[in-house]
Amino acid sequence: MRTPYKPPIVAVLTRYYPHWQPPAQRGGWTKCLCPFHDERTPSASINFEKNRVHCFACDLSLDSIDVIQKEEGVKFIEATRLAESRFGGSSQALSQPVRGEPSRTIHSQPRFGVRGRQVQTRLRFRADHGT
Ligand SMILES: [Zn+2]
């Protein structure tokens, strides 16, 4: 079974809570203001490696998929799909370089056209002489 894609917890939280200020990234659990409720003293902790946020006041412990489930009101499978389309796969597709088409066909076409016109004028000249 494939492990579902887990987007970075900070990317998910700042999308659903744009006013929330993420703490500086550190190892282990980092104290921060809770994104889910209004507060002045930090009662929440975030773990960047585990992609998890925990709030003692709200009594919540959520990873990034849990947050999507909670905010979108969807089941786990649907949340992993949303995680990939909104926070994962699409950004990788955009970073691929776009290459220009070689212009070989454009060069050969006018030359052929000029030759065709020359043949036509010669034929008309001969026809004029005939009459
Ligand atoms: Zn809270």
Helices 64-72 and 76-87: crossing angle, nearest 10°? 100
pLDDT at residue 115, as a whole number: 52
Ligand 1 centroid to Cα of residue 94, in Å, is 35
At residue 73, φ and ψ (nearest 5 deg) are 65, 40
Q: What is the CA radius of gyration of the chain?
A: 32
CA of 87 to the centre of ligand 1 (A): 24
Q: What pLDDT is attached to residue 97?
A: 43
Q: Going residue by residue through the chain, which has 131 residues, state the pLDDT in tens, using 9 for 90 and above.
A: 667 889 999 999 999 999 999 999 999 999 999 999 999 999 999 999 999 999 999 999 999 999 999 999 999 999 999 999 999 854 444 434 445 544 444 444 444 445 555 555 555 555 566 55
Compute, in angstroms, the gap from residue 57 CA to the centroid of ligand 1.
5
- Collapsing DSSP to helix, strand or coil, 83 comes out as helix
Q: Where are the domains of the chain?
A: 9-90
- The reported pLDDT for the residue numbered 88 is 85
Token pair of 35, please? 């994104």
pLDDT the model gives residue 127: 59
Give CATH for domain 9-90: 3.90.580.10
How many Å lie between the centroid of ligand 1 and the Cα of residue 39? 8
Diameter of the chain measured on Cα atoms? 106
As given in the structure block, the two tokens for residue 88 are: 């994962």
